[in-house]
């Protein structure tokens, strides 16, 4: 999340605004970040920022004076962090039941929780653990594509 936040901040700071635009976790679950840039800058500047972000792989949406942002983080480093608790359970479920399914909603939840610390991340992992256990009982595949990002998020939180 820190890498994504730095990238978004760099683009936002390039816009001429009255003050530095706020950048925070988005409240809607389908978006990762939100900025108040539309309240500070002219329409043309906001359009230029949106274009710059979209060229870098971000999705953008204007809503109620806020610019909502979403993007997949860069691919993880591959090494495994120290796993404990619910995060370890989720990682093990994803490892034992691989698939090519993605779950961007779960990824957003994990990224947002990682900013609040390990306890918030554990709460999200506990909910995912219950959800994935239920899916396995119903013979449904798990979002195996989530595993590398979960490991990367755990690296970030543990550093």
pLDDT at 39 over 60: yes
User: Which position has the token pair 């060229």?
Assistant: 55
Q: Is the Cβ–Cβ distance between 93 and 135 less than 8 Å?
A: no
Task: Look at residue 144 in the predicted model and tell me its pLDDT.
Answer: 87
Average pLDDT, the chain: 84
Residue 135, pLDDT score: 93
pLDDT tens, position by position, 138-156: 999 999 888 888 888 887 8
Q: Which residue has the higher pLDDT, 134 or 79?
A: 134
Measured from the Cβ of residue 138, the count of other Cβ atoms closer than 10 Å reads 7
Mean predicted confidence (pLDDT) in 22-46: 88
State which H helix or E strand residue 25 sits in. Answer: strand 23-25
- Global pTM reads 0.62
30 C-beta neighbours (distance < 10 Å), count: 12
Q: What is the pLDDT of residue 124?
A: 95
Tens of pLDDT along 10-32?
A: 777 666 566 778 888 888 988 98
136 — phi, psi (to 5°)?
Answer: -65, -40
* Mean pLDDT value across residues 29-53: 89
Q: What is the pLDDT of residue 2?
A: 64
Taking only the tens place, the pLDDT of each residue in 48-89 is: 889 888 888 889 999 989 999 998 766 555 555 566 789 889
* Distance (Å) of CA 38 to CA 28, 32, 98: 17, 17, 41
């Amino acid at each position: 999340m820190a890498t994504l936040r730095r990238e978004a901040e760099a683009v936002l700071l390039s816009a001429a605004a009255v003050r530095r635009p706020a950048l925070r976790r988005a409240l809607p679950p389908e978006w990762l970040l939100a900025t108040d840039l539309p309240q500070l800058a002219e329409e043309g500047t906001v359009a230029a920022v949106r274009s710059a972000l979209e060229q870098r792989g971000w999705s953008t949406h204007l809503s109620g004076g806020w610019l909502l942002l979403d993007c997949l983080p860069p691919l993880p480093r591959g090494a495994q962090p120290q796993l404990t608790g619910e995060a370890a359970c989720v990682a093990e479920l994803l490892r034992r039941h691989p698939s090519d399914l993605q779950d961007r909603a779960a990824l957003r939840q994990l990224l947002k929780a990682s900013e609040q610390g390990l306890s918030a991340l554990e709460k999200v992992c506990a909910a995912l653990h219950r959800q994935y256990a239920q899916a396995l009982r119903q013979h449904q595949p798990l979002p195996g594509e989530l595993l590398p990002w979960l490991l990367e998020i755990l690296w970030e939180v543990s550093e």
